[in-house]
Amino acid sequence: MDPKLRTMLQKKAEQRAVEAQKAADSAKEAAHEMEKQVVKKQLKDEHCGMEIIFDATKSGNVSSFVLFSYVLMGLLIQLQLVQCCVENDLRCTKLADSGGSTAFHYAARYGHEDILEYLYDVDSETITTKNHGGRTAVHWAALHGEKKILSWIFQKDPAIFEVVDKDGCNAAHFAATNGHLSVFLFLAAKMPDLIRSPDNDGRTPAHIAASNGHENIIEALHAKRPNLLMAKDYINATLLHYAASGGRYQVVEFLIETVGSGLVDAVDKNGCNAVHWAAKGDKLDILEYLCVKAPHLFLAKDRGGLTPRAYAWDDACANQMKKMEETCLAAVRKTR
């Protein structure tokens, strides 16, 4: 690739990261404020708050205990409430909600480093706790864009970043799910293997980003690790397959324009190309784009002899595809 173009794409990716982080911080602040108002009604005064916490600890009322983990979103008595709870019964550090998530998970999810520090000092093993899905606090922090928390956990126990959940997903998969670029780049710098590791279905974090339409992650990979854009899952499906299936127009466009033929003509183990996948999801905008950019794909057959139109669930989509096939056939004939 032309060095100037690569530099331009890298700067664009970095700018998107800054903008995305600002937007995420703003949204997080708004969400925290809303939750704070809700919890304030539950813990209106210190006496009431202490009753809820001590009752939760003594009786094992998990729902009440988890309530304090959401606690007040920044009110001054937050840490004191946790301290009172722990001092009353050390077992509360291991209490979990119905999904197996502990106070440590919730503190990581909401970015409360002081709570994490306190819980870790009381019981250092809590940092490795998994919920019923096999997810640690690292997974939760990555999913919700808590880079500061991930940095703190990395200093305490970097090995925990190698833990995968029951689906085989690591922290990079979770960061890619919500498009948290700053977290993704942090993980790429600290644990490079994470961003190329497959889950139980062979999907890399790049597959997840493509499926969810996070162009910022795809652009960053193209600038720093372009080979990862060629990843295939266990049925040989590429990023283009996933983006087409999910109707992620911008990602499809980026992959076609920057990566090109290496992805365009790729088929999965069933012989299906990106148009087959887009047709299965009735993604008309993707189909229209691919009709212009790769008309030959509309005429290609899978291993069972079916063209993409046979995969369309919606009759209206199938009818539109019939017209597209005619256009594509004419376009292909012109190139012969």
Residue type, 48: C
3-state secondary structure 42-67: HCCCHHHHHHHHHHHHHHCCHHHHHH
- What confidence score (pLDDT) does residue 233 get? 98
Q: What is the pLDDT of residue 147?
A: 98
Residue 55: the pLDDT is: 44
CATH of domain 235-336: 1.25.40.20
Helices and strands: H and E segment counts in the chain? 18, 0
pLDDT value of residue 107 = 85
Query: pLDDT for 240-262, tens place per residue?
Result: 999 999 999 999 999 999 998 78
Q: What is the pLDDT of residue 283?
A: 96
CB 49 within 8 A of CB 39: no
Upper half-sphere CA count for residue 24 (Cβ side, 13 Å): 21
pLDDT for 46: 41
Residues of the chain with confidence (pLDDT) below 70: 1-7, 9-10, 13, 17, 27-28, 30-93, 336
pLDDT at 57: 37
In angstroms, the CA 56 to CA 59 distance is: 5
Cβ 173 vs Cβ 179: under 8 Å: no
The pLDDT score that the predictor gives to residue 280 is 94
- Tell me the domain boundaries of the chain: 235-336
pLDDT of residue 335: 79
Residue 195 CA to residue 237 CA, distance in Å, equals: 17
**What pLDDT is attached to residue 271?**
98
